[in-house]
Structure formats: C-alpha cells, structure tokens
Structure 1
Amino acid sequence: MTAPTAAEVARAIDHTLLKPEATHADVAALVAEAVELGTYSVCVSPSMLPVAVPAGSDLKVAAVCGFPSGKHTSTVKATEAAESVARGADEIDMVIDIGAAREGRFDAVQADIAAVRAAAPAPTVLKVIIESAALSDEEIVGACRAAEAAGADFVKTSTGFHPAGGASEHAVRLMAQTVPTLQVKASGGVRTLEQAQAMMAAGATRLGVSGSRALLGGAAPGGSGY
C-alpha cells in the first residue's frame, strides 16, 4: 500500500494546543496555522472556546474532556462535554478513568463514556482516550470494547501527558483490530511524517499532533508536547 502523502496526512491531523499556559492569542495562531497547513481540526482546552474559524473554512473544532487524568466524575465530564458543544465544539476527546480499566471494571468505563455520549450526542464526534501506554493488551481490548458499547466514534491512544508514553504502532493496530466499527486516533509522540505514516498504516484515521508544521515539513520538531 502506498504511504499517504503529506497532504493526506495533514487532513488526518487534529492540530493540538493543550498546554496549560496557552492564551487566546496562541489559539488564534493555531487556527491560522491549521488553515494554512490544511489540517482536519484544531484541538483545544474547553476554556479556550469558542474558537473563531475563518469564514468559508471547513476546519473542525475539538475540545478535550476530563483531561488529562480522567479522574473526574462522570457528571463533571458530561457537564464539561455539554458546555463545550454549546460553545462550538464539533468533537469531544474524553479521557476514561484509567484506573478503572486497570482494575478490569469495564462496566464502569462504559458507563463513564455513555454519560458523555448522552451529554454530547451525534452529530458531535466522541473520541475516547484510553491511555494505551499505561494499559496491558487485555486492558486495551476491554477499554475499546467499552467505548464501542457506549456509542463512541473513535478510540484514541493517549493524552500526550502521561509518563508511560504516547502512541505505538502495536497499540493502534490492536485497537483497530478490536473495534473495526470505530475509528482510531493516534496521539502522543507523533512528531515526524514517517511516524504519522506508520500510525496510519497500522490503522489510525486521525492523528493528534502539536508540531504539525515540523511534521509536515520534514523538519526536526523542537521541544516537548502532545
């Protein structure tokens, strides 16, 4: 299979800014860069909403929920998701209770996701962050099945903030094979065009990237980030 071109990779990118020190000026610059690069969306913190998208642009806006720990109650996550949608978010990227998955309490994981799904129904796109680097393969499978049962649209590897690490080709492949009815978003540590292409070859249809310009331009990205 031919590797996706840089332009095709760009259309799979959620151009992301989730640093706690981010300002509204930073978000405006993010949007301008996303339009220039041709990314699918921007992904921001809920407090940065609403985001002004240029007239005529098809750029989508995603907001995170329960970020980054996932240790918020389901009621709090549902309220956060509903408010983000009301403030213009097209997509919600929620974090599960990772500890519940590690304990094998997948009914609780499913209920948590279902609460957010109910608060942000279709056509809002719901992506479920499972923090795959912190889970065993068995736990990844269980979390993905819980997301599917709760009505999610995507399963997503990582927040990009967990010390265990970010996306891996193995996790993406396992996620795609476990829930073929859902899409997979690879995020966390995707910093080069080659890494992005590898994630897409493994089954990712969306990518979370903060250093999109460097990735698409083939330059070495600087600093740390999503």
Structure 2
Amino acid sequence: MDRKLIFEKVDHTLLLQTATWEEIKQICDDAITYGVASVCIPPSYVKRVKEYVKDKIAVCTVIGFPNGYNTTDVKVYETKDALSNGADEIDMVINIGLLKNGEYDKILDEIKQIKVACKDKILKVIIETCLLTEEEKIKMCKIVTESGADYIKTSTGFSKSGATFEDVELFSKYVSKEVKIKAAGGIASFEDAEKFIELGASRLGTSRIIKLAKNQEGSGY
C-alpha cells in the first residue's frame, strides 16, 4: 500500500499529560508535511493550535478523556468549548460503568447529545475495547450505529492495551455502513497500519507512524 494512502488516514496524536507547546507545534508541522487526516491534541491546546495551523490541517481533540466517567453535562460543555475554540473533530469516551450496568439508554442519550453539540463536525466514539467483553463490544457497535455518530473508535491508548485486528474485524461486522472505524493505540508499524486499513479502519490514531517515517528518511531508508 502506498504510504501516502496510509498517512491520509492518520490522526497524528499527542495526548500525553506532559506535552509541551513545542512538542505540539512539532506534530502540527509534521502533520502538514505528511498530509495526515488531523492532529489529535489535548483540549487546552485547541485554540492555540487552530491559530497556528489555520486551515492547513484538521484539529481533533478529546472529550471525557481518558476515563469517560464525567457527567453528560460536563462532556457536552467540553464539546461546545472545544468547538468554539476551533476543533474540527471530537473523540469522546463512553461511560464504561454505565455499559457494565446495562444502562444502554443512558449511553445512547449521551452520545446523541454530544452529536447534537457537534452539529456538522465529526464525532468519534471511543469504547475502550480492552475493558469490554465481546458481547459489550457488539452492543456498543449497535449503540454507536443508532446514535448517529460518525466513527466508532477502539481505544484511548491510556488503558491496558490498544487496537487489535480482532476488534476492527468485529466492528466491521456489527456497525452499519454509515459508521466508520478508527483503530487507535499501539499501532507501531506500517505493516500494522496497512492491516488495520484492510480490515476496515478509515482512521488510525497513532503517534508512531510519522515518527517511523521520519526516522527511516533520516537513515536513508
């Protein structure tokens, strides 16, 4: 697969608590250079990043991150705040406790409220697959489909593990054709990236692919 096609599906990500402005600027520069889908950065940097990149690259940020157990009102406010600061895409974390409780209507309602707040902006729903049973993953595929969200996303990258090929295969089987798939967390090679895309992922949340490309270019690869 042409690497350009892989780059076009990457959300170039830096969400570490220690991320500095210089590091955020660097991933923005790299994102523009390599033509990725977006930069995914902490909410506190959204306004500054939008002013820095203008319309050269889409700006993505996270809501209810990484644990997802904020109240719905807080998540909706976070979303509106991020959008007012210039965010183009929102990646929200579900309330996993509600899922474990079987309170599916509350999860659906929360996603719908955040989708309304997003208006025409892209909403991705992070379900943190490493903490779920297969039955719960299938249930979330159905809830995300019903919610009107644009993407279902595997992971935050801050829990026990990230994306797996099996989870993306499962998503492809159970979400509707209208819902796209984002694999995130632990994608460390071009081979893995290509495999996730072949299995149905339209986006890849990763910080490593661009770093790998830069290192290979630097070594004369």
TM-score by length of 2: 0.91
Identity level (%): 36
Number of matched pairs: 213
Q: Deviations over 1:54-73 (max 9, x none)?
A: 4662x111010000000100
Higher helix share: 2
Go from structure 1 to structure 2 and tell me whether the alpha carbon gap of 1:142 and 1:56 turns closer, same or farther (over 3 Å shift). Answer: closer
Go from structure 1 to structure 2 and tell me whether the alpha carbon gap of 1:26 and 1:217 turns closer, same or farther (over 3 Å shift). Answer: closer
Match of 2:219 in 1: none
Is 1:7 the equivalent of 2:7?
A: no
Q: Secondary structure at the match of 1:49?
A: helix
Q: Which of 159, 162, 168 is the aligned partner of 2:164?
A: 168
CA distance in 2 between counterparts of 1:19 and 1:84 reads 18
Q: Which runs of 4+ in 1 moved over 6 A?
A: none
Contact kept? 1:109, 1:143, Cα under 8 Å: no
CA distance in 2 between counterparts of 1:102 and 1:192 reads 33
Shift of 1:53: 4.6
Gaps of 5+ in 2: 217-221
CA distance in 2 between counterparts of 1:22 and 1:129 reads 21
Shift of 1:49: 1.4
Stretch deviating more after TM superposition (40-49 or 207-216): 207-216
Shift of 1:85: 0.6
Match of 1:96 in 2: 94
1:31 aligned partner, one-letter code: C
Stretch deviating more after TM superposition (196-205 or 208-217): 208-217
Is 1:63 the equivalent of 2:56?
A: no
Match of 2:112 in 1: 114
Go from structure 1 to structure 2 and tell me whether the alpha carbon gap of 1:53 and 1:148 turns closer, same or farther (over 3 Å shift). Answer: farther
Match of 2:71 in 1: 73
Q: Deviations over 1:99-140 (max 9, x none)?
A: 222233221211111121122112x00000000111111101
1:102 aligned partner, one-letter code: K
TM-score by length of 1: 0.89
CA distance in 2 between counterparts of 1:56 and 1:43 reads 15
Is 1:207 the equivalent of 2:204?
A: yes
CA RMSD between the two structures: 1.5
CA distance in 2 between counterparts of 1:31 and 1:23 reads 13
